[in-house]
Amino acid sequence: MLARTCLRSTRAFASARNGAVHFSKRAASSSSSGAAADAAPVGLNVAAAAATAVAAGSIAWYYHLYGPTAHAMTPAEEGLHPAKYPWVHEQMFKTFDHQALRRGFQVYREVCASCHSLSRVPYRALVGTILTVDEAKALAEENEYDNEPNDEGIIEKRPGKLADYLPAPYPNDEAARFANNGALPPDLSLITKARHGGCNYIFSLLTGYPDEPPAGAQVGSGLNFNPYFPGTGIAMARVLYDGLVDYEDETPASTSQMAKDVVEFLNWAAEPEMDDRKRMGMKVLVCTTVLFALSVWVKRYKWANVKSRKIAYDPPKPAKTRE
> Which residues are documented as binding site for heme c?
112, 115-116, 236
Least distance to another protein from the beta carbon of 134, Å? 7
Determine which residue in the list 7, 35, 37, 76 makes contact with another protein, applying CB under 8 A. Answer: 76
- The DSSP call for residue 181 is T
Residue 226 sits in the site that holds another protein (CB under 8 A):
no
DSSP string for residues in 202-242: HHHHHH---SSPPTT----TT-EE-TTSTTSEESSPP---T
Nearer to another protein, 57 or 128 (CB): 128
Determine which residue in the list 4, 38, 64, 86 makes contact with another protein, applying CB under 8 A. Answer: 86
Distance from C-alpha of 239 to C-alpha of 31, rounded to nearest angstrom:
84
Distance from C-alpha of 305 to C-alpha of 199, rounded to nearest angstrom:
55
Residue 204 sits in the site that holds another protein (CB under 8 A):
yes
Q: What single letter denotes the amino acid at residue 73?
A: M
Nearer to another protein, 177 or 238 (CB): 238
Determine which residue in the list 5, 52, 58, 256 makes contact with another protein, applying CB under 8 A. Answer: 256
Determine which residue in the list 255, 271, 272, 274 makes contact with another protein, applying CB under 8 A. Answer: 255
Nearer to another protein, 67 or 252 (CB): 252
Residue 131 sits in the site that holds another protein (CB under 8 A):
yes
Determine which residue in the list 10, 11, 14, 96 makes contact with another protein, applying CB under 8 A. Answer: 96
- The DSSP call for residue 318 is P
Nearer to another protein, 75 or 222 (CB): 75
DSSP string for residues in 51-105: HHHHHHHHHHHHHHHH-S---PPPHHHH-PPPP----GGGSTT----HHHHHHHH
Which phi-psi region, left, alpha or beta, contains residue 231 (left: φ > 0; alpha: ψ -120 to 50)?
left
The percent helix, strand, coil of the chain (3-state, each to 5) is: 50, 5, 40
Residue 12: other Cβ atoms inside 10 A: 11
- Whether residue 300 contacts residue 222, with contact meaning beta carbons closer than 8 Å, is answered with no
Least distance to another protein from the beta carbon of 162, Å? 16
Nearer to another protein, 215 or 311 (CB): 215
Nearer to another protein, 85 or 170 (CB): 85
Distance from C-alpha of 248 to C-alpha of 176, rounded to nearest angstrom:
31
Considering only residues 265 to 304 of the shown chain, the ones binding another protein according to CB under 8 A are: 275, 279, 282-283, 286-287
Binding-site size, another protein (CB under 8 A): 58
Residue 80 sits in the site that holds another protein (CB under 8 A):
yes
Least distance to another protein from the beta carbon of 285, Å? 10
Distance from C-alpha of 317 to C-alpha of 307, rounded to nearest angstrom:
29
Determine which residue in the list 232, 234, 262, 265 makes contact with another protein, applying CB under 8 A. Answer: 232
- x/- letters, 34..73, toward another protein (CB under 8 A): ----------------------------------------
Distance from C-alpha of 155 to C-alpha of 147, rounded to nearest angstrom:
6
Q: What are phi and psi of 124, to 5 degrees?
A: -65, -25
Nearer to another protein, 55 or 217 (CB): 217
Positions in the binding site for another protein (CB under 8 A): 74-76, 80-88, 90-100, 102, 128-132, 134-135, 204, 207-208, 210, 214-218, 227, 232, 242-243, 251-257, 260, 275, 279, 282-283, 286-287
